[in-house]
Structure 1
Amino acid sequence: MGEPSAKGLLTSSNSQPAAASFQDPSITSPVPYMTANIFTSESTYKFPVSGSDRHWVRLHFYPTTYNTLNSSNSFFDVTASGGITLLRNFSAYITAQALSQAYLIKEFSLNPSDDGFLSLTFTPSKNYQGSYAFVNGIEIVSMPNIYSQSAILVGSTDQTVDVGTFAFQTMFRVNVGGQYIPPTNDSGLSRTWYDDTPYIFGASIGVTSGAGDKARIEYPNDEAKLIAPDDVYKTARTMGPDSQINLNYNLTWVFQVDANFTYMVRLHMCETQVSKVNQRVFDIFVNNQTAQAAADVIGWASNKFVPIYKDYTTFVSDEAGDVMLWVALHPNQEMKPEFYDSILNGLEIFKLSNSDGNLAGPNPVPSQLMQEAEAGFNKGFQESPSKKAYIIGGAAGLEWPALGLVLR
């Protein structure tokens, strides 16, 4: 989609362009993070979009000083067409500090628009004096409906969830057993896939394997090519060659999430080592409940190098302490497979909107150790220390005077 006029997009008289006062070393390109739009009152962008497609919405934030405005004073809401709340009382400063990130990308998937327009409204919080809203970049990307099939509800024998009717937020997207995949190497949807290592629970991390550059992934149809890129399916994490060791542990990943939401967990699998049914059979657990018993990738895919994915949903309730979502694999013994092992190639976790259209969770709480370190550092320096950025989504944009914007 071509670049529309700026006047036709933004409806606000209380917005101003601003330049970032400092470029964190982790920011390798000035677009879109070194400029921002600042909003001191409710302001709305209105984008013309295809009324029949879902759209990725990626919001880019770099919390720093803009025109003498300190980002620690910025708290705001972001709502989208159809009454969907994306962010509520959001502080990019607190979130970046708690996650040890320099900049953030929030990625959402929204349902088709009824009127051919997608609106994003930024509203400064009324609970903080002098609060303002800001955004550095916006991406609107038309996407195929790759989330149309129903997902199994974990803990229920026959109930499914029609996830395609929900708006949702990408919480995690990892390339299991493989390396970081940038948006330019995705399968056409500009997604970012991260290394799964930080999320593995315990010391039993299994082993990683790769199919090699000459291996060819055999997609069952054209739409399947968009589900995930080749690099996800060519690499995997398994439990290892020792069946006795494998029977005594679970291959487990743990993710911190927001309480009181339903989550969809998408597992990507592709066999590149075994080629027969009942050679590798395993059970899949989500939050300590059986999501799938006797998973056999070859049984599902019918052949080696054919990728498949499975979707599961689970509700994560409010409990004391950190709220975690667990995904675990364990060899299935009942089927007496040739190898007592498990395999996973990729993993995505999405938060589904609740009954009132809300996707917003609370700002994360920085650890006490983090707060003490930040306080000690800031005694001698104006800017925060360089932080490793861990983000969801792409980082390209058309450079406007105050906003990086992509419409596709």
Structure 2
Amino acid sequence: MKPIVTLLYLSLFLHILTLFVAGQSPPYTPVDNITLACGNSGQPSSNDNREWSGDIDSKFTPIGNASESINAPPSSTASQVPYTKARLSRSKFTYTIPLSPGQKFIRLHFNPDTYSPDFQRSNSLFSVTAASFTLLKDFNASVTADASGGSLLVREFCVNIETGQRLEITFTPSKDAYAFINGIEIISMPTGLYYTSSANFIETIARSYPIENNTALEMVYRINVGGAPISPYADTGMYRTWEAADYIYLDDTSKEFSVLPQNNTIELNFVAVPEYSAPEEVCKTGRSMGMNKTINKSYNLTWVFPLDPKFYYLVRLHFCEFESDITKYGDRSFQIYMANQTAEELADVIGWSGANGNPVYRDYVVGMFMSPVGSQKKVNLFLELAALQRDSYTTYNDAILNGLEIFKLSDSNGNLAGPNPDSPPLAQQIPKSSTTSKSHASLLPIIVGVLSAVLLLLSVL
């Protein structure tokens, strides 16, 4: 994880430096920008200089029976706000937050750790509701963190707040367990950013799937395809995190043959979509099939994304043609398949965006109602880009993707909750602090030996 973290901080530094030098502000300024550090008092600052408001003796103090504020243990890997403290309780507690009307991000931050003998790491099991929606049900934060290979969790949701509404977020422990939370973000988003009437419903020809205000969404994947990770501060004003992990979702053939074009010269022109839709960095990198027509016709550029079954999903694909040879309609046309169904018979980024250098996105809704295989809890969404087989339809038999976002849509009962993942094998559950110190200790003699050899070589030269 260290190289990824390093890239995140490098991306953050470069973005801050760019804004400082150019005197720019993000394309979007949220009306509501609430950062709540649960279990804290005052206004602690995080590493990215965002100010968080504590919930102790403030207007955000939760209502409930005897919730506690506890510091994360000294052995915790979390060293920044809001993960250094937590609010925990074996009884239900509720945050009531006044908000302006409109569509909002809700981000829940978790540091699953053992906070005291009474709050063991493995015994956190709880549900979370917001407004009329069930966001999480019998949620086990420690198992979820272990399964993802990380120590911290952020779960992001989208809800609409009606006029004059106060948002209530309730944490309810399961039987003989406790609930906890480290941080809550509530950030306004532009109207219609993800709530839309024009998403293509790929299960029925020429039919759209409206995502209306009575729907809640959960962000499952947000990826800068072919590029570096993008930190929340380097987003367009909504503090979204963009992963750089599309490689791990590629099938083996795509890993072998796909290439990573980059835009180092062409200036972006946001005329097809608003500038806040995605950071410019998403539009300046991508993944394509390559320039060999014969190879391109022999495989599909394929990603595989595990998802919870029995839900509909919004899939947003971000595109931008920036290669100098791709300037007009038909230069690069391709096909898009999703869940083994045709999403686009003839996709053409120039046709959608109007010109080279113009970012654009396309929305699709797909149902994942197949049954998992065997003991698996997830089902796989296959996203495939295919080169056209007939040369007369395109100049370059190739395909490109710059970014993607996948959101789960709430069901008819307002539920977004899926099952907890399976626990990883015991060999993978060694505490990170002990493995880190052990690995450092074992590496020390190697490092000393290498340095000695280098110094000896230099002295000989």
Deviation at 1:184, TM superposition (A): 1.1
Moved more, 194-203 or 97-106: 194-203
Maintained 8 Å contact 1:57/1:107 = yes
Moved more, 141-150 or 86-95: 141-150
Runs of 4+ in 1 over 4 A off after TM superposition: 1-5, 383-386
Moved more, 228-237 or 140-149: 140-149
Q: 1:285 aligns with which of 334, 337, 340?
A: 337
| Residue identity in the other structure for 2:278 | A
Question: Can you give the 5+ residue segments of structure 1 that lack an aligned partner in the other structure?
Answer: 387-408
Aligned to 1:311: 363
Aligned to 1:330: 386
CA distance in 2, matches of 1:122, 1:150: 34
CA distance in 2, matches of 1:115, 1:384: 50
Deviation at 1:7, TM superposition (A): 4.5
Maintained 8 Å contact 1:280/1:337 = yes
Maintained 8 Å contact 1:172/1:350 = yes
Q: 2:121 aligns with which of 71, 96, 116?
A: 71
Deviation at 1:384, TM superposition (A): 7.1
Deviation at 1:300, TM superposition (A): 1.1
Question: Can you give the 5+ residue segments of structure 2 that lack an aligned partner in the other structure?
Answer: 1-31, 35-52, 437-461
Over 3 Å counting, the alpha-carbon distance change for 1:384 and 1:89 in structure 2 is: farther
Q: Deviations over 1:306-363 (max 9, x none)?
A: 0110000111122323411111100123552001000000000000000000000010
Map 1:293-372 onto structure 2 (within 5 A): 293-317=345-369, 318-320=371-373, 321=376, 322-334=378-390, 336-367=393-424, 370-372=425-427
Q: 1:94 aligns with which of 124, 137, 143?
A: 143
Aligned to 2:220: 171
Q: Give 3-state SS (helix, strand or coil) of 2:83's partner.
A: coil
* Percentage of matched positions with identical amino acids: 40
Maintained 8 Å contact 1:19/1:67 = no
Aligned to 2:428: 373
Q: Give 3-state SS (helix, strand or coil) of 1:119's partner.
A: strand
Over 3 Å counting, the alpha-carbon distance change for 1:158 and 1:7 in structure 2 is: same
Deviation at 1:12, TM superposition (A): 1.5
Aligned to 2:203: 155
1:139 aligns with 2:185: yes
Aligned to 2:280: 230
CA distance in 2, matches of 1:281, 1:327: 17
Bigger relative contact order, structure 1 or 2, given CA contacts below 8 A and separation 6+? Answer: 1
TM-score by length of 2: 0.77
Aligned to 2:267: 216
- Specify which structure has the higher proportion of helix: 2
CA distance in 2, matches of 1:200, 1:339: 22
Aligned length: 370
Q: Give 3-state SS (helix, strand or coil) of 1:106's partner.
A: strand
Greater radius of gyration (CA) = 2
- Tell me the C-alpha RMSD between the 2 structures: 1.9
1:34 aligns with 2:76: no
Deviation at 1:116, TM superposition (A): 2.5
Over 3 Å counting, the alpha-carbon distance change for 1:8 and 1:308 in structure 2 is: closer
TM-score by length of 1: 0.86
CA distance in 2, matches of 1:203, 1:283: 18
CA distance in 1, matches of 2:252, 2:426: 26
CA distance in 2, matches of 1:324, 1:347: 16
